[in-house]
């Protein structure tokens, strides 16, 4: 894939747009006379400060399915959690690791320094805090050709309310992955299109991550680089309460992994489809489908309708009016900022992030994933009982 054609509709930050030439000429000609475009995530809404730590994982039982010359499957994960008060001595982490951000923005054709992606709100390596006792665990899988960074807003908000969230980059399926030492990996072809292959690879990735998280819970080190463990992290993991959340192909990964692995008690899909054996087998555990009225939604996706019909546990489909595929992540905030630099028309932008106002997209991201996991991992909350006057754009289907 060349850089003129941006990532496909399963992607993350920028999708399905065509740059007129390598870049719009104005964006190339005036970078030094214009202020950089700056992105900064809004602060999370919960009562707890945040900590995070990244781990480099190596699965020695699998050669890499995308790059056969690599004898082991290598992944990067981040763990996000509520931190103790007074975490200021620990620096906040960048929204995307610096070398990965530089490579990705360059791939999109953006001049160096033209876009500043800012920092997250989590402090690297801060001691674990939050509510007493072990914390429920949520796994996050991004869309194809995306990055674990693109769900940071949802993830930080969950962690600020007392969840421990594990975000996963599926190497060579992800847009860009930075490993310790600054090594950056992208898909050799510029992006993936073989989703039938990607789904079992991702399922194996998530199951391996769960195995390594179990090692961490038992007091071992999950990674290969011996990153220092934040104080209190092993004891903070409650592996009896594990949920999973994914966007796009990450939503399909959530369903497929739940079928393969009973350790995941509840799953949520943000505008994701369904594929593989789970379509006909269904699930007997709680599952939330977040749908859009657009081309990829339940109305036009026979496999997703079949999967829905075979769900035997608690189920709910939420349809968000005015939403589009990139409404359900940080893309909803970033893409309007960078669209002019990429030559995206208002029509193209609307096709990616919809017509829903950005503050309403963010309100949905903060309220509904947490309500789902509160209900099924903490047995509390009423938002999912039925339509809410606070969210008139959200329709409910049982």
* Residue-by-residue DSSP string for 20-80: SSSS-HHHHH-TTTSPPEE--PPPPSSSS-EEEEEEEEEETTS--SS-TTSSSEEEEEEEE
- In the chain, which ranges are continuous DSSP H helix? 25-29, 98-107, 152-160, 195-217, 249-260, 278-281, 302-309, 331-338, 346-353, 358-377
pLDDT tens over the chain, length 398 residues = 333 223 333 333 333 222 222 222 233 333 345 789 999 999 999 999 999 999 999 999 999 999 999 999 999 999 999 999 987 789 999 999 999 999 999 988 888 889 999 999 999 999 999 999 999 999 999 999 999 999 999 999 999 999 999 999 999 999 999 999 999 999 888 888 899 999 999 999 999 999 999 999 999 999 998 899 999 999 999 999 999 999 999 999 999 999 999 999 999 999 999 999 999 999 999 999 999 987 668 888 999 999 999 999 999 999 999 999 999 999 999 999 999 999 999 999 999 999 999 999 999 999 999 999 999 999 999 999 999 999 999 999 99
DSSP state at residue 97: -
For the chain, which domains are there?
25-397 (3.40.50.1820)
Cα gap 343→16, rounded to integer Å: 12
Cα gap 353→298, rounded to integer Å: 18
């Amino acid at each position: 894939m060349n850089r003129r054609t941006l990532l496909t509709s399963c992607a993350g930050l920028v999708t399905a747009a065509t740059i007129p030439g390598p870049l719009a000429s104005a964006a190339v000609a005036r970078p030094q006379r214009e202020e950089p475009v700056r992105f900064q995530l809004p602060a999370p809404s919960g009562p707890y400060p945040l900590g995070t730590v990244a781990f480099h994982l190596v699965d020695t039982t699998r050669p890499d399915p995308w790059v056969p010359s690599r004898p082991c499957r290598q992944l990067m994960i981040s763990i996000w959690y509520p931190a103790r008060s007074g975490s200021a001595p620990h620096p906040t982490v960048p929204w995307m690791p610096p070398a990965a951000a530089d490579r990705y923005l360059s791939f999109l054709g953006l001049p160096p320094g033209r876009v500043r992606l800012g920092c997250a709100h989590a402090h690297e390596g801060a001691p674990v805090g939050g509510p007493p006792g072990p914390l429920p665990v949520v796994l996050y899988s991004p869309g194809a050709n995306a990055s674990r960074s693109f769900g940071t807003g949802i993830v930080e908000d969950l962690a600020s309310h007392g969840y421990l969230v594990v975000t996963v980059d599926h190497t060579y399926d992800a847009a860009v992955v930075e490993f310790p030492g600054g090594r950056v990996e992208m898909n050799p072809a510029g992006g993936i299109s073989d989703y039938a292959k990607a789904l079992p690879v991702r399922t194996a990735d998530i199951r391996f991550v769960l195995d390594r998280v179990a090692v961490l819970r038992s007091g071992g080190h999950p990674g290969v680089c011996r990153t220092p463990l934040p104080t209190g992290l092993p004891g903070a993991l409650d592996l009896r309460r594990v949920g999973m959340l994914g966007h796009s192909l990450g939503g399909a990964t959530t369903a497929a992994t739940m079928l393969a692995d009973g350790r995941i008690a509840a799953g949520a899909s943000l505008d994701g489809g369904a594929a593989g054996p789970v379509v006909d087998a269904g699930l007997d555990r709680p599952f939330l489908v977040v749908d859009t009225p657009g081309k990829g939604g339940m109305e036009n996706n026979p496999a997703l309708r079949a999967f829905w019909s075979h769900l035997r546990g608690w189920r709910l489909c939420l349809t968000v009016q005015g939403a589009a595929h990139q409404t359900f992540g940080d893309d909803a905030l970033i893409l309007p900022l960078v669209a002019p630099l990429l030559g995206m028309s208002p029509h193209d932008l609307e096709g990616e992030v919809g017509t829903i106002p950005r503050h309403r997209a963010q309100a949905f991201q903060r309220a509904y994933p947490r309500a789902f996991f509160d209900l099924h991992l903490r047995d509390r909350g009423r938002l999912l009982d039925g339509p809410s006057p606070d969210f008139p754009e959200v329709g409910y289907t049982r």
